[in-house]
Amino acid sequence: MSEKTKSENLEILASDVRACRLCIEKPQKKPLPHMPRPVLQVSATARLCICGQAPGTRVHKSGRPFTDPSGDRLRDWMGIGENVFYDAGRLAIVPMGFCFPGLDAKGGDLPPRPECRNTWHDRLFAAMPQLELILVIGQYAQAYHLGAARRKTLTETVTGWRDYFEASPQPGKPVVLPLPHPSWRNNAWLKKNPWFESELLPVLRREVARLV
């Protein structure tokens, strides 16, 4: 398959994702409480991918990934600005849920919609074999990309980041680096785990600079 064919197939697939209405037309649980607005960023040339949870209210309004304080912190962690972050040719963004899932009774975001993972994720990643590194943010992304290798808690998984990052990658599979969510709600976690800033972030920034 030529590089051009790969790109065309990915473009068609991404267009299908953006037009997806499964969560209201054929939902696997209670329908999405608002009109879908799938958000993703993909290309056949990006070597780095971010896989997080799902868009929040601000991203749902903007239609662009990480247009919120979490995005500001994530870009700071990565050591890049918006010009690189939103360059699809260099950076892919594939959240576990493409649409804002709605809020729970306490005002927090609901889990990512299952329709996204079950319908689209395997196909999207198969269409981007050029990916070399995937940043997996939060428990849902870690469950998908790490499978049985994921540890019992997010903290244990992120603490063991070297085991995933330094492991010999499977042929044709990208390296996976687990991260906590960059939400400001995780300030306490970051204070309790200073090794994240001193040990993991330098590696993250080095790899981002190499790949983008």
CATH architecture of 3-211: 3-Layer(aba) Sandwich (3.40)
Domain-wise residue ranges, the chain: 3-211
Report whether 199 contacts 156 (CB < 8 A): no
Q: What is the pLDDT of residues 89-119, one digit of tens each?
A: 999 999 999 999 998 888 888 999 999 999 9
Measured from the Cβ of residue 70, the count of other Cβ atoms closer than 10 Å reads 21
Q: What is the pLDDT of residues 161-194, one digit of tens each?
A: 999 999 866 777 899 999 999 988 899 999 999 9
Q: pTM of the entire structure?
A: 0.93
Sort 52 into a burial class: Cβ within 10 Å, 0-12 / 13-18 / 19+.
buried
